[in-house]
Amino acid sequence: MESSRNRPRQRDGQATATNSGPAGLTPTRMAATPLPQAGVALAVFSFGNLASSLLPDSWWGPVHVACAVLGLALLAPVLARHGIAIRDASVRATLASDYRNPMIAPLATTMPMALITLGTYFVRFGSPGVRCAQIIWWCGVLCIASLMMYFAWQFIVRDFRLIAVCPAWLVGFVGILVAAVTSGTVGLDWAGHVIFVIGFAIDIVMLVLISHRLAWHGLPAAIRPTLTIYSAPISLLVASYFSTATDHDPLFTLVLLTCSQLLFAFVAILLPWMLTTPASPAYAAFTFPLVITATALHDALTIFKDAGWHVPSWAYWLQHGETLLAGVMIVVGMAAFRHVHESL
Res. 197: pLDDT tops 90 = yes
How many Cα neighbours within 13 Å face the side chain of 312? 3
Domain assignments of the chain as residue spans, ordered by start = 23-342
**Ranges 190-199, 217-226, 247-256, 279-288: which has the least confidence:** 217-226
Global pTM? 0.90
Q: What average pLDDT does this structure show over 100-121?
A: 96
Task: For residue 247, give Cα distances in angstroms to 185, 252, 307.
Answer: 16, 11, 10
Query: Could you tell me the fold of the domain covering 23-342?
Result: Glycosyltransferase (1.50.10)
The per-residue pLDDT for 64 is: 95
Q: Is 60 exposed, middle or buried (0-12, 13-18, 19+ CB in 10 A)?
A: middle
The per-residue pLDDT for 344 is: 67
Res. 31: pLDDT tops 80 = no
